[in-house]
Chains A and B, each alone.
Chain A
Amino acid sequence: MSSMDNFPQYASPCSLAYALALESTLRLQSGTLQRIVATLLARGRSNVRDLALHTSLNPKQVRHGLALVIQHNLVFYQTDHETAATTYEANPQASYHLVRIGKILDVIDRKYGIMARNLVNDLLMLGHVEIAELVRYHRLKHGPPKVKINGEQNHNHDHDHDPDDDFDNDNDLENGDLDDSFNDDTHYVNGNGTAHGTADDAMPIQANEVYDTLAQLIAAGVVESVSVTMFQSPQDLKASVEQECMKEFPNGIRGAKVMTEFDTMVKSQIKAIGVERATMKRKLQENALYEPSNIKRRKLANGGMSNGFAGDSGGSILRDEPNMVVRLNLDKCLVELRNQKLTEHAEDFVGETTAQVFAGLLASLCKKVYRCQHDQYTIMTEEEEETYFTGVRVTSEEIFDHLSPGVDVSTGIGAASEEDIDIRFAEKIRKYPPQIQGSHIQGTLDEGDEILGSDDEDYDRSGEHLKGTHVNGHRGSIAQNGTKMGGDYSGESQSSRAEQMRHMRQHLLILTETKQQFVRHCGQNEWTVDFGPLIQQLRYVELDTMIEDNFGRQGLRLTRILREKGKLDDKTLPAMALMRKPDVHVKMAEMEMAGFLEVQEVPRDNNRAANRTMFFWFFDEARTIKRVLDNAYKSMVRCLERLEVERYNKRAILSLADRRDVQGKEEEMLRGDVYNEYLEFIEIEKKLLSQVSRLDDLVSVFQDF
């Protein structure tokens, strides 16, 4: 584990943590784990004997290695009840997630605070672990005489003002810095500006605090309790549940009635597993008030610290179960990553403030979003399943509660005179998610929507009330006695809340109006996000970015025409694109070579002469996306390959820098030229790793979100 502390200080948090992940798997175990996982990936399910054969390790080493990789959830196992033979199977998702660890830590840091981040970090280092052990390890490692973890200087947060109340950090961290933190750390905005105290270095970490943070993470679903069923692959799990259920039907399953009976039984069993997994989470959610709204309200309402909850919170519940085993829930982490990515895109398309509002919406929405994608093997509880089929929606109030306090919602939208705004369109309610049609989201506004109820119900009238110059007690909470602007404010905080709410709504409405449909206004004051279509849009955005970068604006134009119109021949295309024919041909050929376009030849007669053949160009979406995804993976591998080569080239220096006495104080210990060369390497490493991470962003968009 020591290698993680010595990681270069200048690496950005992302690349740092990513490197850590690699370190932990690749380096520390001197390749044993890597070999085992790679063999499992290549050969599929195997037993210890086969593994020993193919990895050229002895069975003892294999067993030891397997224990470790199982600990990190990189490998599933399944023991057959009758033969008692155990087979192992790689968990490719979990393995790939190693690349994302840096980002996950970053997101956790931002949302739950530095302590949560450190906890997750420990959890990643330890694999699944008992709570008591985790807390002990955490206090030991991050306790007072600690060496500062690298990269932390960016993120030191003030624990000093109230050491017991670590939830406070939330508020600082949720500010949703939208820039890629690994691109440029300098404008990392987290509410507290630069005034971070580093007092926590001096203060011993309270066990309470750690328990509380952990409880918070479990309640949020980022950390989950481990149950036996998690070591089986979902497919195996389903199969074994089915086998179990089969025993109830000694006569076999024949006929529709028995079949449905069997199916319901399997389903309920699987749901039971889901419920069992979520027990602790539920308990914590019920008992402790982990609603960020509580924290936020304190701040906004009166600025004081009318501490909403007593000390008796999740921490104490966890204390009663020190032997509970926990691990990181990658599904939920992915949701958090997706939120971040979506927020970045909202920032790109609309603007900063709007993106912050969007982040607030996502934060409140995603309390009920447990994973990005699911298939038939996903284990869900009743409640989870419900949210998938009915969708999650939140009210404006909830969003407002999740807004980070630093956001000035009155900015970011231009002014327009009121007669130019048609509230009926602005507040249009869309009850159903959009249908994906080609690359376009068909505005449900065109048809169809008109059928849904009368005109009066078509839009959200509450917006009308809010729109006026005075807020007329619409929420039943504010009685502002008709004062025009500049009048006195009796309940200042109240009115400002209503006012801010009004502004925030404007941002939400803008988001609903975007071509990408970031948000759907799905009911009176209710909002939702249709993740599926939205992510689809983002895929196009990424594709377009790539095409524009590679083939210029005109290339983009041509592909988008084809995407919209379907197949076109070379005659129509130049006229539509307002381009010269030869130029079009050159561009098309270029793009075809690169695999972004396809061409179909249709001969006009039997002798397939080129001049008697029509050429139809088209854009094959699925193929292109697959290809891009493939290229992203390949490029990632190449970056890593290059990194290895660079490492090898600089091995002399690196081995020097790796020495115990040099670690952490390279600048003093190394000779000038050696140090410079070391810095050079660090620079290269940083570049390559951050590239890998950006490529992973692409992979996420195209595959995982």
Chain B
Amino acid sequence: MDDQTALLKTQLYAACEEACSGDPDRLFTQEDLTALDVIPPKDIKKLLQLIQILTNERLFAPVHLHSGLAWRLRPEAEAAKYKQLSSHDQVLVYEIIDAAGAEGAWQQDIKRRLNVQDNALRKALKELEAKRLVAQFTTVENISKKMWIKANIKPSSRATGGPWYTDQFLDEAFIEALQSVVMSFIKNRGSYLSKGERSTRSMSPVLPKKGIINGATSEAAIKSKKRTADAISKDETPSAPAARPRKTIRLPLPAGYMEYPTTEEITAGIQAAEVAKGQPLKQEHVQELIDVLVWDNRVEEIRMGNRVGYRAVRITKQNPSLYSKPGDEDFWEPRSNGLTSVPCGKCPVFDLCEEGGPVWAGGCEYFDQWLT
């Protein structure tokens, strides 16, 4: 390798480094490399030589793409680690683990790809581990798999399961607690808390948390107006709804309400409340939580143009208090229908039941319990 080549090599590497400063995972194809203006144009031979050298020095890592070969830049510090490797096996194994990056490589996979003896592989891995180049970890997707990763990087969120996993286990308590936070946030922002006392006219209206309305549209005004209307027909209708003692209840907001919280707002709310300090929650994580609440039939999506907000379902049936302990029944009254209340709805031997059969309604013990 003459001086000129060495110089060009350094130049090329520096140019590449600069080109991929924004995106460290950028891949360079042959065209990209020529476009860097380091190699004299059309001198493919030189380019080939340089790439060969760089690859040998582990500064370039070849990547096979559908469109052909490309190279990824490897930092010099990383490349230096290859120098510590003593055996050929170690190099091969380390290459695979290195290429796998944050996802990690499965031991079986390494073995299959290298086609080496089990103990050779184990030996190589042991040596690598001793040199603190690789580390073993487990992925949440399959706890029994032996996974290897470079020692200096952390497993990807896919492997760790993101914020929902603590030590490879789904942290259900954490999820549940966060869900109730999200729930109460949505409930609070997307409904109106009506206190029972307000039904008497003299009381001042409970002010909505956002924007106080004065004058005509305030509750008091509506109320007083309404009374006059009511007074007219009072003789015939002793206004049953008003007479009924009112409880504290959450009320739906008028149609067209634009402030139903969106995912961003909920995320911001959670961050502000500092409920998940150790685990900074990103928007996509909060979205996952909301999705689950939607599937749970606790929350529904409401679209206002481009704004996708969320609000609680059956708001008047909700427990008006915002904070419920985990495990509390969140609805005021659970729904029921014929099949949920009759013992047959839950009967484990429903399909066996018939007149004259081993089980029948006349002698059914579930009915016995239910009827007494």
A685 to chain B, nearest CB (A): 10
CB neighbours (8 Å) of B339 from chain A are 546, 628, 631-632, 635, 695, 698
A611 to chain B, nearest CB (A): 12
**8 Å CB interface, A592-636 against B:** 628, 631-632, 634-635
**A499: CB under 8 A from chain B?**
yes
Cβ of A546 and Cβ of B345 under 8 Å apart? yes
Cα of A189 to Cα of B239 in the assembled complex, Å: 10
Cβ of A416 and Cβ of B302 under 8 Å apart? no
Q: Which residue of B lies closest to A420 (CB)?
A: B259
A696 to chain B, nearest CB (A): 7
**8 Å CB interface, B190-245 against A:** 191-194, 205, 208, 210-213, 215-219, 221-226, 228-230, 232-233, 235-243
Say which one of A250-258, A309-317, A549-557, A658-666 lies at the interface with B: A549-557
**B291: CB under 8 A from chain A?**
yes
A484-506 CB contact bits vs B (8 Å, 1 = yes)?
11100100110011011001001
B295-322 CB contact bits vs A (8 Å, 1 = yes)?
1110011111100000001111100000
Most buried by B among A171, A500, A544, A635: A635
Q: A415-B192, A695-B342 are in contact. List 4 more A-B contacts (CB 8 A).
A: A417-B210, A499-B225, A548-B335, A556-B295
In the complex where A417-B213, A631-B350, A691-B342 touch, is A499 in contact with B251 (Cβ < 8 A)? no
In the complex where A406-B239, A510-B252, A546-B337 touch, is A576 in contact with B215 (Cβ < 8 A)? no
**A405: CB under 8 A from chain B?**
yes
Most buried by B among A195, A406, A414: A414
Say which one of A65-73, A74-82, A368-376, A422-430 lies at the interface with B: A422-430
Cα of A695 to Cα of B223 in the assembled complex, Å: 41
**B344: CB under 8 A from chain A?**
yes
Cα of A687 to Cα of B295 in the assembled complex, Å: 34
**A545: CB under 8 A from chain B?**
yes
A507-522 CB contact bits vs B (8 Å, 1 = yes)?
0011011010000000
**A200: CB under 8 A from chain B?**
no
Assign chain B's interface to a size class.
35 or more
**A412: CB under 8 A from chain B?**
yes
**B91: CB under 8 A from chain A?**
no
A566 to chain B, nearest CB (A): 14
In the complex where A564-B295, A632-B338 touch, is A496 in contact with B259 (Cβ < 8 A)? no
**A411: CB under 8 A from chain B?**
yes
Cβ of B338 and Cβ of A697 under 8 Å apart? yes
**A351: CB under 8 A from chain B?**
yes
Cα of A191 to Cα of B242 in the assembled complex, Å: 11
Partner pick for B252 among A195, A414, A557, CB 8 A cutoff: A414
**B253: CB under 8 A from chain A?**
yes
14 contacts between A and B (CB under 8 A): A195-B238, A353-B241, A413-B254, A422-B258, A485-B221, A486-B224, A493-B232, A509-B254, A509-B256, A541-B335, A638-B364, A638-B367, A645-B362, A687-B370
CB neighbours (8 Å) of B172 from chain A are 579-580
Partner pick for B208 among A416, A549, A576, CB 8 A cutoff: A416
**A419: CB under 8 A from chain B?**
yes
Partner pick for B251 among A407, A412, A695, CB 8 A cutoff: A412
In the complex where A408-B226, A469-B216 touch, is A580 in contact with B211 (Cβ < 8 A)? no
Cβ of A415 and Cβ of B292 under 8 Å apart? no
Q: Which residue of A lies closest to B249 (CB)?
A: A351
**A15: CB under 8 A from chain B?**
no
CB neighbours (8 Å) of B226 from chain A are 408, 410, 499-500, 503
Cβ of B211 and Cβ of A634 under 8 Å apart? no
CB neighbours (8 Å) of A354 from chain B are 252
B17 to chain A, nearest CB (A): 37
**B82: CB under 8 A from chain A?**
no
CB neighbours (8 Å) of B254 from chain A are 413-414, 416, 421, 426, 506, 509-510
In the complex where A691-B342, A697-B337 touch, is A496 in contact with B362 (Cβ < 8 A)? no
**B289: CB under 8 A from chain A?**
yes
Cβ of B256 and Cβ of A545 under 8 Å apart? no
In the complex where A408-B242, A557-B292 touch, is A513 in contact with B255 (Cβ < 8 A)? yes
Cβ of A577 and Cβ of B240 under 8 Å apart? no
Cβ of B225 and Cβ of A496 under 8 Å apart? yes
Mostly, the A contact residues are helix
Please give me the 6 A-B residue pairs with the lowest Cβ-Cβ distance, nearest first.
A414-B192, A426-B256, A417-B211, A509-B255, A469-B216, A695-B338
Partner pick for A512 among B175, B194, B255, CB 8 A cutoff: B255
**A126: CB under 8 A from chain B?**
no
Cβ of A578 and Cβ of B288 under 8 Å apart? yes
**B279: CB under 8 A from chain A?**
no
CB neighbours (8 Å) of A407 from chain B are 241
B123 to chain A, nearest CB (A): 30
Cα of A87 to Cα of B241 in the assembled complex, Å: 55
**B170: CB under 8 A from chain A?**
yes
CB neighbours (8 Å) of B240 from chain A are 175, 189, 191, 193, 406
CB neighbours (8 Å) of B243 from chain A are 193
A286-310 CB contact bits vs B (8 Å, 1 = yes)?
0000000000000110110000000
CB neighbours (8 Å) of A631 from chain B are 339, 344-345, 350
Cβ of B215 and Cβ of A303 under 8 Å apart? no
Cβ of A542 and Cβ of B337 under 8 Å apart? yes
Cβ of A545 and Cβ of B259 under 8 Å apart? no
**A684: CB under 8 A from chain B?**
yes
Cβ of A414 and Cβ of B232 under 8 Å apart? no
Most buried by A among B216, B218, B256, B317: B256
Cα of A171 to Cα of B367 in the assembled complex, Å: 42
Say which one of B23-31, B34-42, B353-361 lies at the interface with A: B353-361
CB neighbours (8 Å) of B235 from chain A are 303
**A349: CB under 8 A from chain B?**
yes
**B257: CB under 8 A from chain A?**
yes
Partner pick for A553 among B223, B296, B316, CB 8 A cutoff: B296
**A418: CB under 8 A from chain B?**
yes
A152 to chain B, nearest CB (A): 20
In the complex where A175-B240, A446-B303, A484-B215 touch, is A549 in contact with B297 (Cβ < 8 A)? no
**B341: CB under 8 A from chain A?**
yes
In the complex where A422-B304, A546-B340, A631-B350 touch, is A410 in contact with B211 (Cβ < 8 A)? no
**8 Å CB interface, A664-705 against B:** 684, 687-688, 691, 694-698
Cα of A432 to Cα of B362 in the assembled complex, Å: 51
**B346: CB under 8 A from chain A?**
yes
Cα of A421 to Cα of B259 in the assembled complex, Å: 8
Most buried by A among B192, B239, B297: B297
Cβ of B314 and Cβ of A549 under 8 Å apart? no
Partner pick for B335 among A175, A348, A405, CB 8 A cutoff: A348
Cα of A299 to Cα of B236 in the assembled complex, Å: 8
CB neighbours (8 Å) of A557 from chain B are 292, 295-296
Cα of A419 to Cα of B259 in the assembled complex, Å: 10
B326 to chain A, nearest CB (A): 12
Cβ of B229 and Cβ of A496 under 8 Å apart? yes
Cβ of B191 and Cβ of A414 under 8 Å apart? yes
Most buried by A among B170, B213, B316: B316
B8 to chain A, nearest CB (A): 49
CB neighbours (8 Å) of A586 from chain B are none
**B21: CB under 8 A from chain A?**
no
CB neighbours (8 Å) of B237 from chain A are 171, 191, 299, 405-406
Most buried by B among A411, A500, A639: A411
Cβ of B345 and Cβ of A416 under 8 Å apart? no
CB neighbours (8 Å) of A634 from chain B are 344, 350, 353
Partner pick for A638 among B222, B296, B353, CB 8 A cutoff: B353
B138-152 CB contact bits vs A (8 Å, 1 = yes)?
000100000000000
Cβ of A416 and Cβ of B252 under 8 Å apart? no
Cα of A553 to Cα of B371 in the assembled complex, Å: 27
Cβ of B252 and Cβ of A638 under 8 Å apart? no
CB neighbours (8 Å) of B208 from chain A are 414-417
